[in-house]
Structure 1
């Protein structure tokens, strides 16, 4: 039997990927270790070298990219295969991205082109996936689906623990005003990211006085990347999500499933957090309208939440992303909006048109079942390795 090594961590889709590899005839051996540092941990590196010496593996697989693992595989001559579910991966901006053993699959085409432009080889575009068979089995064997019925629901973080709030009042008034204006402008732009253009060389030079850039010796990341992703990106996501939920709750029954602080969402029904495997699909199945609000850090790609909603047979309204028309049809598989006013009008329309809404949900489910399975995606990966 063909054998692969997988690094196990808390990626949402890890179990689906592992199960699918086994379904395709691979023996999967797992290795687990809490990583405090993605590129330097000599104890873990030596542990990996020992495991690789003891057996013959076709490749080492991870969800997302780990420089330490890439470097060990380069040293040991073992193919290193990864598939991203987050974007952008700060860990990818690292000298190890040029290792010859890498086979890197990214769901965001913008990042694929970026790294190809940097000279990295064996970088491929691979959209995300969903296991509709697992979800169908879950629904067939559940007797509590009525507990998860909602008019409108959103499942996800509100990112209130973002680093911008911690540093905001250390900034001079003019810099704080500049970033506030940037975030307000970005907040209602769908499928377009202006943050990079707003972080001009002059602004970045000034920002260096207030923002401490922490990175490893081999990191290729810079202040522009770190600040736009880990600081502004999360703060914009918080602003977008809170403003949408507050406005929708003025006219509709809105529920949120989250670990975040919802004290300001007075009219929104707080339903607590839900387990990704057993509960979240029931929310998607039971809600008339499921919202997807993509974090701006995902520049063009289709996030995992959309596949999860459609795979559960749910009706999805999402902000526009540049790659959506590559894989889906608007108002056939889901509905996308171009600004917040457009969202409010479409939510109102589809709540009052049950037949259309249910037809779109059914078409979306059938589309991902036929075209977006983990088996299809992993076969694409394996074919690239031949």
Structure 2
């Protein structure tokens, strides 16, 4: 197949699309990559069309372009594949939803979170598929172990100023704060389930429910986005505040001051991050709040480099590691403390688990596997459309 890839400016997104590029090439496909990081020109579009792609793939909606005669690539009779590794409802709009319904043979959405895939399907939108993140073996791989001392690490930022996260409506602001509090105290419960609970329990929050049902964009971009960003930061800060009696290294922006907390510079995604994972007995995964049931890239990257990760529970961990997820996840802070203390003092068990999960990842969860899955899902539909 001829596959065109469009990339944007976000560094993590670019890394993911490079991984897909390499995997598609390894599978024997011809690949053409065009960057839209600085926007695009008419010549950029012409070069993509001249490549004669069987489909175009990109992260999110960066390649959804509207021209005078309609959506550009559909008008040029080229199917598009959208990879949604973030909440797709932050970027969808009624016009594009109508476009997908009217021309389903041109649109394929691969969505990383089961909850959002269910909502996508409930809307009657076409060709929705579940897809997880994956391991890029060129960036994350086993290195010689260097454990200077027993320690924990977390890679990610915790912004100092959260004052911008206000909707301008007291009820909505209170709702956001209550969701965050409940989520921190019930970290195994998806945010949307907490929202449903609050709609039923507190009468004034029926206002938020009406916004969700009747003004979707306002809910996703004004309320849920605030829960995701503000809540993720408050959650990470809280966990950092309760970890005691062990050195805890945070790689990213953070203003926490504690004797056992060591703030380090942010780490570049890829081999540099792999070295950090290799430098600590336990690497923590503290997920942002848009991860309803899905996992971020840490389980694949960390175990894929034969290092140990202790993660907050997500349903997808049961799918990825069906026989081991209970060993490497925590559903509450008591479990975090107990498992953290256990693995810090049981090197043999920790290393054995890391070895077993490494084999699971490299044999089932690489970008080679994901790329083949995408082709398997859409190739028959695309070939029928071209007949």
Distance of aligned partners of 1:146 and 1:116 in 2 relative to their CA distance in 1, 3 Å threshold: same
Equivalent residues of 1:190, 1:321 under 8 A apart: no
Query: What pairs up with 1:59-74 in 2 under 5 angstroms?
Result: 59-66=55-62, 68-69=64-65, 71-74=71-74
SS state of the match for residue 25, structure 1?
Answer: coil
- What is the 5 A alignment of 1:1-386? 2-9=1-8, 10=10, 11=13, 12-34=15-37, 44=40, 46-47=42-43, 49-66=45-62, 68-69=64-65, 71-97=71-97, 98=100, 99-100=103-104, 101-132=106-137, 134-136=139-141, 139=143, 146=146, 151-162=151-162, 165-168=163-166, 172=170, 177-192=174-189, 193=191, 194-197=193-196, 198=198, 202-203=204-205, 205=207, 221-248=216-243, 250-258=244-252, 260-265=253-258, 267-329=260-322, 331=324, 335-386=328-379
Q: C-alpha deviations, 1:173-215, integer Å up to 9, x for none? A: x76555433321111222322453236895475899xx9xxxx
Secondary structure of 1:222's partner? Answer: helix
Query: Cα distance 1:206–1:383, how it changes in 2: closer, same or farther (>3 A)?
Result: closer
* Counterpart-to-counterpart distance in 2, 1:56 and 1:68: 18
The change in CA–CA distance for 1:334 and 1:67 in structure 2 (over 3 A counts) is: farther
Say if 1:85 and 1:304, in contact at 8 Å, map to a contact too. Answer: no
Preserved CA contact (<8 Å) 1:148 1:283: no
Alignment CA distance shift 1:383-1:358 (3 Å): same
Residues 336-365 of structure 1 show CA distances to partners (whole Å, capped at 9, x for unaligned) of 111112111110111111111111111111
With 21-30 and 62-71 compared, the bigger mean Cα shift is at 62-71
CA 170–119 in structure 1, closer or farther in 2 if over 3 Å, else same? closer
Paired with 2:79 and 2:149, the residues of 1 have a C-alpha distance of 46
TM-score with structure 1 length normalisation?
0.83
* Other structure's SS at 2:289 match: coil
Unmatched tracts of structure 2, length 5 or more: 380-387
Q: Aligned-pair RMSD on alpha carbons?
A: 3.2
In 2, Cα distance between equivalents of 1:328 and 1:206: 36
How far apart, CA to CA, are the structure 1 residues paired with 2:168 and 2:49?
Answer: 51
Instruction: Kindly tell me the number of residue pairs found equivalent between the two proteins.
Output: 360
CA contact (8 A) 2:57 2:82 kept: yes
Gap change, CA 1:128 and 1:94, over 3 Å in 2: farther
CA contact (8 A) 1:313 1:362 kept: yes
- 1:377, 1:53 → 2: CA distance? 25
| Displacement after TM superposition at 1:168 (Å) | 4.8
Tell me, what secondary structure is at the counterpart of 1:256?
Answer: strand
Tell me by how many angstroms 1:334 deviates: 5.4
- Which deviations, in whole Å up to 9, do the C-alpha atoms of 1:142-176 show, x marking residues without a partner? xxx749876100011224454xx22559665x765
3-state DSSP class of the match of 1:269? strand
Whether the 8 Å contact between 1:293 and 1:318 is mirrored in structure 2 is yes
Q: Distance in 2 between matches of 1:206 and 1:382?
A: 40
Note if contact 1:333-1:363 (Cα within 8 Å) is conserved in structure 2.
no
CA-to-aligned-CA distance 1:70-124 (integer Å, 9 cap, x gap): 8322121101012222235512455324242111111111111111110111110
Query: CA 1:53 to 1:179, structure 2 compared with 1: closer, same or farther past 3 Å?
Result: closer
Q: Deviations over 1:211-241 (max 9, x none)?
A: 9xxxxxxxx8422222333212211111110
Cα separation, partners in 2 of 1:112 and 1:181, compared to 1, 3 Å: closer
Contact 2:89 2:220 in 1 (8 A): no
Cα–Cα, structure 1 residues 64 and 147, in superposed 2: closer, same or farther, change >3 Å? farther
Aligned to 1:216: none
**Residue ranges of structure 1 left out of the alignment (5+ in a row):** 36-42, 212-219
